Amino acid sequence: MITQFQKIKNIGCYEEYLFDSVITEKFNKVNILYGNNGSGKTTFSNLLFLLSRYCKNKTDLYNELIDENSELEIFINDNKVTAKNITTQEFDLYVFNSKFISDSVYNGTTSNIELFSNEVKLTNEAINLLDNSIRVKKDRFTKVEGWATQLQTKLDNIWDIYKNKFNEIIQGARLTNKPDIYGVETGNIANLKKELKDLYTSYENKAKEELLTTKLNTLKSKVAQIKTIDINLDEVVKNLESPISDASKTQLQERINSLQSIVESKKIETHIGDLSDWYKKGGRLLHLSKDQNCHCPLCNTDLSNSIDSILDEYSKVFSGGLDKLFTFLNNQTTVLADFIQSNNIESNKIKINDIISLLTEFSKTKNGIDFNDNVTLNSALSNISTQIKLKKKRYNEKVEIDSHGKEKINSYNEQIDSFKIETLAIIDEIEKAIQGQNIDTIISQVKRKIKQIATVEYNLSDNVVISNSKKNNSQIAVKARSVKGTLTIELTALDSEKKIEIAKLNAESKYVNIYLKHFGIDHFEIDTDKNKQTNNLIVHYTNGKLKNKIDTSLSEGEKTALAFAYFVSKLRVEKIESKNIGFQDCIIVIDDPISSLDDNRLFQTANLIDSLLFYSSSDANHYPKQLFVLSHNITFIKYLSNALKGNDKLSGKDVNLINDYFLNHNNPKIRNIPTGLKNFTNTYIIKLNEIIAFRDNKLEYEKAKNYLANYIRIVLETFLSFKLAIVNESNNRLPGLSHLITKMVSEFNNIDDIEIDNLRKDTIIKRLNHLKKIADHESHGSIHKAEEFSFIAEKELKDFAKATTQVILYIDKLHFSKIKNHSL
C-alpha cells in the first residue's frame, strides 16, 4: 500500500512539499482528494503512473516531470521509492488521467483505442495454445533479461566508483559519457589508471596554474643555487705537475709568435729579422758573457754575482709564466676557500632534497645525489688546497694531487651538473604540459579515460557475470541482445496472433457500450477496427450513420464519458472477466473522470466507481488494494464520498478505510480536508466560510485578495436574490449585485426600524450602499498600468467582509423576527 508522499520538490507545481503528520494523515485504502485546477492533481496521478507496469513511455513521462533538481520520496509498504528508482517499479496499478486517455483512447486528433490485456478470461483453444508458447518464450526472455540486468548492475557499480572520484576532483562538470554494456576497449588496467592519475594531476595543476608557476620559479631558483666545485681541475693538475721552466718555455714561444705577427703586420721583417733567432742569440750572448767577464752584452753591467740565476730565470721572467702561475693558483685557492667556508656540500644537499620534494607535488620523481662520502670529498678539497700552497713555494718542482680525490671531485661535479640538467628538463616538461592544454581539454581527456577504464575493468575475467563463461561481459551482452531481439520478434508475433483471436471476441466495444448507456448515452455505440492501431474507432449512430473522427463527431462530455467507459471496461475485463478473481492485488487511480459532464452524469460516475470496485464481489478481500480519486468538482467528490461511506465494510462504527484530502492551490500540499469542505452542501457555504475566516483574521490577505471580492459579490447576490425572491431584472437578465442592493434598500423603506445586535436599518443601508463597490469590476483587481495589477487594500477588503456578515445577520434575524411575529 502507498502510505505517503514524503517529499516532492521541483516537480510540476510542487515546489517543496514535505509530509507533515500534524496536518495530513497517511493514505488509507480509499483516498478522495479535492483540488482546484492547478493544485497538482495531474502531477500526483502521473507520479503514481510511473509506479505502474502499464505506463507507456515511462522515460518520456519521467523526463517531462523530473529533472536534475527534482527530489521525490514515496513510501510503499515501508519501502522508499525515489526519483532514481521510480521507473523500475512494476506495480499492478491502473491510472485514469489525461495521459491514459491520450495513450489508449484519444490523443486529441485521432482515436487510438488499445486492445485490452491478452490475459483476459475471454478465451478459446487457439488462445490457450498461444498462451503456452508465449509463456515458454517469456521464461527464456526473463532469463536473458536477467543477464542484461546483472551486466548493467556490474557496469553501474564500476562506473559509480569512477564517477564519485570524478565528482570529488573535478568542479563544475558532470560525467556524462557512460559506456553501455556492449562496449569494448583495450589497454592494461594498471597503465590506464596511472594515465588517469596523471590526467587528474594535470587538471589540478591547471586549476592552480598561478600557484604552480610560482612553485616552478621556486624550483628554477633552487636549481640555480646548487653549486659545483668551480675549479679548473685539469688546469690545476697541469700547473701543479709541470715545473715553471716548462711552463715558461711554452709561454716564451707564445710571446715570440705574438710578436712575430706584429712584425709581419708592420712589414718590418728586414729590419728586425727572425724573432726566435733573436731570443736564441740573446741567450747565447748571456752564456758567452758568463764564460768571459760576466758582463751584459747590451749594457756592459757586471753580472758576476747573478749571472747564473739570470740565466736560469731568463725565460721565466721574460715570459711572465711565474706571475700567471701565481695568479691562477691564487684564484683557485679563493674558489676552494669560498666553497668550503660556505659549506656548499651540505647546502647543496638541502636544496636537492627540497627540489625532489617539490617535484612530487607534480607527480614527478627524481633521484638525488649520494652524499654519504662527504668526508672523502672534503679531504680531496683540502688536499688540493694544500698542494696549491706547496706549489707556490716550490714552483719549479712537480707537485702531485691524489688521483682518487680528483675522481671524487669530478664525479661530484658531474652528478651536480646532471641533476641540474635533468631537473630543468622536468620543469620544462611541466611548463609545456600546463601551457599546452586548456582545462576543458583535460576534463574531456579524463572523461574519455574513465570510459575506457570502466569498460576494460567491466570486461576483466574476474567480473564476468556468467560462471565458467569463455566470453567477456561485452560479448555476453551482445549475445543477450541478439537473443532478446529474436524473442521479442517471436513474442510480438505471438502476441499479435493472440490479439487477433481476442479481437474476435470484441470485448472492448461490448463493455464500453454497456457503460456508455449507464451514462445515459444511447444515441450511438462504438466499435473498433481491429486492423488499425490509430483512428480505429467507429461511431455507430442510431440513425444509421457511421463516423470515425471523434474530434468532430462527439462533444467534450461524450469524449470524457467514452474515455472513462473504456477505462472501467478495461478494469472489468482484465480484473473480473480475466483469470483474476477481483481487484485485490491492484491499486486504482482516477483523476477527474467528470470533465464536461453534467450533474446527472456526475452522480452516475460516482455510482459506477462505487458499484464496480466495491460491489462486484461480496467478499471485501476482493476490493482494490487501494483507491485514489482526484477531482476539482466538489459536487462529484461529495457524491462519491457519500456513496463510499455508505459501505459499512469501508466506513462504519468499527472501521474507517476512507480518507479525504485537500490539495492547496496556492502552495500545493496534500493535507486533510478542511471542515468547511468536509461538511460541504453547496458552494455558497464554502464562500461564506472564507469571508468569515478573513474577517476573523484566520485567512491571510495575500491569499484572499485574489478571490475574496468575487466571493463577497457571489454570496451577496445569492443571499439577496433569495430574500427578495428575484430571479431576473426588468430586461430579463440575471439580477446583478447593484440592482439587488438597490431593491433591498428600497424594501427597507417599508420596514420598521428595528435594532438588532446594536445595528439599526440606517446603518445596514449604509453598509449595503458601501458594498455596491463590490459590483464595480475594478474591485476585483484593476489593470491601471500595462505592467501592474492593483487589488483592494487589506483594510478595505476587511471592511467589506465585516459589512457582508453584518448585512446577512441583520436581514436574517429581521426575517426570522417578522416570521415569528406573523406566526403569533
Distance between CA 88 and CA 128 in Å, rounded?
A: 30
Our CA dihedral for 545, 548, 550, 552, rounded to 10 degrees, sits at: -70
CA 424, 425, 426, 429 torsion: positive or negative? positive
Beta-strand relationship, 546-547 and 537-541:
antiparallel
Query: Residue 277: what pLDDT?
Result: 55
The answer to whether 594 and 587 have CB atoms below 8 angstroms apart is no
Our CA dihedral for 143, 145, 147, 149, rounded to 10 degrees, sits at: -140
Neighbouring-strand partners of residue 662: 34, 671
CB atoms within 10 A of CB 461: 9
Cell numbers 614527478 label which residue? 364
Distance between CA 242 and CA 391 in Å, rounded?
A: 10
Burial class (CB in 10 A: 0-12, 13-18, 19+), 233: middle
Nearest to 604 by CA among 572, 643, 555: 643
- Alpha carbon distances (Å) from 263 to 137, 255, 275: 115, 12, 9
Query: Residue 627: what pLDDT?
Result: 96
Distance between CA 260 and CA 272 in Å, rounded?
A: 10
Residue pLDDT, tens place only, 245-266? 555 555 555 665 666 677 667 6
Distance between CA 152 and CA 458 in Å, rounded?
A: 10
The answer to whether 405 and 391 have CB atoms below 8 angstroms apart is no
Distance between CA 538 and CA 43 in Å, rounded?
A: 32
Distance between CA 123 and CA 319 in Å, rounded?
A: 129
Beta-strand relationship, 524-528 and 537-541:
antiparallel
Q: Where are the domains of the chain?
A: 2-110+506-678, 683-823
Query: Residue 531: what pLDDT?
Result: 74
Coil, strand or helix at 305: coil
Coil, strand or helix at 682: coil
The answer to whether 354 and 215 have CB atoms below 8 angstroms apart is no
Burial class (CB in 10 A: 0-12, 13-18, 19+), 618: exposed
CA 254, 256, 257, 261 torsion: positive or negative? positive
CB atoms within 10 A of CB 191: 9
Distance between CA 396 and CA 244 in Å, rounded?
A: 5
Coil, strand or helix at 663: strand
- Alpha carbon distances (Å) from 164 to 173, 290, 376, 597, 815: 12, 101, 55, 54, 76
Burial class (CB in 10 A: 0-12, 13-18, 19+), 9: middle
The answer to whether 14 and 8 have CB atoms below 8 angstroms apart is yes
**Directed axis angle between helix 321-341 and helix 374-393, to 10°?**
150
Residues lower than pLDDT 50 in the chain: 275, 317-319, 777-788, 823-824
Nearest to 748 by CA among 823, 807, 688: 807
298-310: b (≥16 Cβ within 10 Å) or e: eeeeebeeebeee
What pTM was computed for the model? 0.47
Cα angle at 353 between 350 and 358, to 5 degrees?
A: 125
DSSP assignment, residue 572? I
Domain 2-110+506-678, classified CATH 3.40.50, yes or no: yes
- Alpha carbon distances (Å) from 555 to 502, 597, 612: 30, 10, 25
Coil, strand or helix at 757: coil
Our CA dihedral for 39, 45, 46, 51, rounded to 10 degrees, sits at: 140
Which set of grid coordinates corresponds to residue 249?
718555455
DSSP assignment, residue 471? S
The alpha-helical segments, DSSP class H, found in 170-208 are 189-207
Which set of grid coordinates corresponds to residue 462?
574476474
Query: Residue 197: what pLDDT?
Result: 92
Q: What's CA 611's distance to the chain center, in Å? A: 47
Which set of grid coordinates corresponds to residue 60?
518520456
The answer to whether 8 and 50 have CB atoms below 8 angstroms apart is no
- Alpha carbon distances (Å) from 372 to 31, 78, 227, 349, 784: 86, 70, 18, 11, 93
Cell numbers 641540474 label which residue? 420
Q: What's CA 419's distance to the chain center, in Å? A: 48
